Structure 1
C-alpha cells in the first residue's frame, strides 16, 4: 500500500480525533465524520494512564494533559464499610510507570484534540457508511448525505456498535453484554476531602476520584439484566444500591441531581476480530476491541491505537500485528477483573476480600503490579511533535 494522502475518520470520539491529529501531523489531508450534531462526548470522565500520555506525546499533547493530574497521596481498594483492602499512592505509581495517572472530563480532552486539527477537518451531523474498503490499487469509498468521499485510508472509530466493523467482518458476532450496567457523575461536592478509591461489594462497585478543577468523578456498576432502568430516576437507584456505603459516598449522592447521572449497559467484544484492517480500512478503539472498564484502559488503548496507526499508515498489516495481540490480552484481563470485582455470592466476596487484603500486606504494590505491561508501554516512534518531553515521561 502506498503512502496514504487522504484519510477519512468515521467517528469523532477520543480515538478518532487522536488518529486524525496524528495522521494530520504525518502530512495527510484528514476529514473526520461525526454523526452527532456536536463533538460533545457521551460519558463523564476518563482516566489516562502513563501509556496513553506517552501516546499523546506523539501529537504534542502529553505534557498539557499531565498538568491536569489531580491524584495525590494514598488511594486504593475498600469494602462498603470503608475498610481498606489495598493501598497505593500516586507517587509510587508515577515512579513505577514513568508518569502520573490523570483523571479529566472527556469534554476537556475532546476540546484539546479538536483544537489541533484544521478548522474544516471535522464535520458534525455527518452520518457515514463504508461503501468500499478498497485495495492496493483502488481507493476506499465512504458515503455521506453530501456525497461520496474517496480515501487512501479510512479509519473506523465508530464505537462498540461499529457499522464499519460490521461491513469489514460481517460474520463476526460483534459486541456482547458484559452482564453489568454503569452509572457515572461529574459534580461539585462542597467540602469533600477524601482519598481516591474504588470500593468492591457483592455484585456492585463504586469509585470516587477528585478532578483537577475541584469537581468529583464518581462511578458505579452492578450486575443487572441488560436494558434495565430505574422505576423513578437513576439517582434514586444509586441511593438504593449504595446509600449506606462508607463516606464520601453518601455526600456524593446528596450532591447529585437526577439529571447528573449517566447510565449505560456495558458491552465488550468477547471474540477477537481476525484483524484490525481490511483493504484500506483500519479499526481502532471500541470498534476493534471494546472491553469492560474494569482496568480503565478502553480510552487509553484507543489513543495507543491512533498513534500506532499513524506510524503504520502505509502498512495496515503491521498495524494489526502491533495492536491485536496487545489489546486482546488487555481486554481479557479486563473481563477477569470485572468478574472478580463483581462477585455476587457472600462467600465468594468474603474470600476475594480476604485474599486481596493478604496479598496487599505481603506486597503493597499489588495494585500497581497488575498494570505492569500495560501502563509502561511506549509508542513505536519518538514523539515527533513534542521532542522536548523529558525522557522519563515517554
Structure 2
C-alpha cells in the first residue's frame, strides 16, 4: 500500500518516519516550522534498539558514532557506585551503546531524504478530513490533500491537542537540564559517566573526535534561568570529581543549552485517530533518565512504516501501529520516571545514602539487565 503523507516536524522522529514511509513506497513531505534546519543540540546516546531502527531505515552511523565501552555511575567525590561494561552489551545485543552529536544524527537523517522533501518555515496548526476521507493540510500559502498525517511535532504537539483536546498535555517533571558540547577534545578516562548527588546528576559522553557532551540535570522550579548559566554550573558542580571541572572549563558560555523537562504523565488513549498518527515526543514524551527518548521515536518510525506497508488500509495500519507501539513506549516512559525518582530526583540525604549503598552492593549484571530490558528490541521488516 502506498500513498501520500505529510509529516509535521523535522526532528529525529519526523525525519526517520519520512525515510521509512519513502522506503515502503509513499510520497512524503516533511513540514518544519523553523525557518532553517540548523545543526544544533548537544549529544545523544543510542542503545541497540535505536541503532537497529536506523539500520532498518538504511541510515548507518559509521565513524560518526563512538562506542561506549567503559563507564558507570559515581558519587560526587568520585567513588564508583556501579560500573558497566559496554562489551557485555555488545555481546548480548550485537552493538554497544554509541554516542554522537545530535546534530550529526540529524544531518545523517536529512541526507537520506531528497532536499525537496523537507519544507521549512511552514507551520501546521491543524488538519481536517475531506469528504473523500483524505486529509487536508495547510502548508505555507497552499493546502495539500494527503492520505496520512504524521504528528512528530514534539512535546507541545498541536496535532496531539487537536486529536485529543481533553488530554491535559505535558507536565513539568520537576527537573531542568543544562547541556553543552566542549569546544575542544578533553582528557577523560571513560567513554561515559553519570554522577548522582542529592537531587542532581552530572553526566558526560565522549565523541569520536575527542570532544565531550556533558549534561547537568537537577531539581528546580520550572522557568528558573540564570544570567550566566555556565558560572552557575561551576557553582553547583565545580567541586565534584574530575573530569567535571575540566568539562565545564572546556565549554564556551554560548554553547550552553538550558531546558525544563516536560513529560506526558497522563498517557494517551491512542497514538492514532483516523488518518493521523502521532510519534516521538508528541505521543510519549518521557524524562531522559533511561536515555530512550530518541530510540523510542526511531522505533515508532520503523513500526509505522512496516504497518503501512502491510496495509490493507491506512486506518487498519494505524490501528496496528498503535497496538504495537503504545504499550511498549508507555512502559518505557513509566520506567524512565521511576529511574529518575530513584536516581537524580532523590534528594533526602538518608535516601541518597541508602540508594548509593544499594548500588555498590548490587552485582554488575544487574546494571546490564536494566539496559537489556529496554534495548533488546528488533525492528519489523519493511519489505
TM range (shorter): over 0.9
Q: Which residue of 2 aligns with 1:217?
A: 213
Query: Partner of 1:212: helix, strand, or coil?
Result: coil
Would the alpha carbon gap of residues 228 and 41 (structure 1) be closer, same or farther in structure 2, given more than 3 Å must change? Answer: farther
4+ residue stretches of structure 1 with deviation over 3 A?
66-69, 188-191
Q: Does 1:79 align with 2:75?
A: yes
> Matched residues in 1 for 2:130 and 2:57: separation?
28
Q: Which residue of 1 aligns with 2:195?
A: 199
Instruction: With the length of structure 2 as denominator, give the TM-score of the two structures.
Output: 0.94
Q: How many residues align?
A: 374
> Matched residues in 1 for 2:130 and 2:341: separation?
40
The one of 78, 101, 108 aligned to 2:104: 108
Query: Partner of 1:43: helix, strand, or coil?
Result: coil
Would the alpha carbon gap of residues 41 and 291 (structure 1) be closer, same or farther in structure 2, given more than 3 Å must change? Answer: farther
Q: Which residue of 2 aligns with 1:258?
A: 253
Query: Partner of 1:182: helix, strand, or coil?
Result: strand
Q: Which residue of 2 aligns with 1:317?
A: 319
> Matched residues in 2 for 1:41 and 1:268: separation?
24
Q: Which residue of 2 aligns with 1:33?
A: 31
Q: Does 1:358 align with 2:354?
A: no
Would the alpha carbon gap of residues 182 and 72 (structure 1) be closer, same or farther in structure 2, given more than 3 Å must change? Answer: closer
The one of 335, 338, 342 aligned to 1:336: 338
Specify every segment of 5 or more residues in structure 1 that has no aligned partner in the other structure, as ranges: 385-394
Q: Which residue of 2 aligns with 1:285?
A: 280
> Matched residues in 2 for 1:289 and 1:44: separation?
21
Q: Which residue of 1 aligns with 2:204?
A: 208
Would the alpha carbon gap of residues 266 and 191 (structure 1) be closer, same or farther in structure 2, given more than 3 Å must change? Answer: closer
Q: Does 1:267 align with 2:270?
A: no
> Matched residues in 1 for 2:18 and 2:350: separation?
49
Query: Which deviations, in whole Å up to 9, do the C-alpha atoms of 1:106-149 show, x marking residues without a partner?
Result: 111111111111221001111112321569x5101111332111
> Matched residues in 1 for 2:130 and 2:299: separation?
25
Once the two structures are TM-superposed, the CA of residue 190 in structure 1 deviates from its matched residue by 4.5
The one of 87, 90, 104 aligned to 2:86: 90
- Given that 1:176 and 1:268 are in contact with CA atoms closer than 8 Å, whether structure 2 keeps it comes out as yes
Q: Does 1:178 align with 2:173?
A: yes
Would the alpha carbon gap of residues 72 and 344 (structure 1) be closer, same or farther in structure 2, given more than 3 Å must change? Answer: closer
> Matched residues in 1 for 2:367 and 2:50: separation?
18
> Matched residues in 2 for 1:355 and 1:118: separation?
51
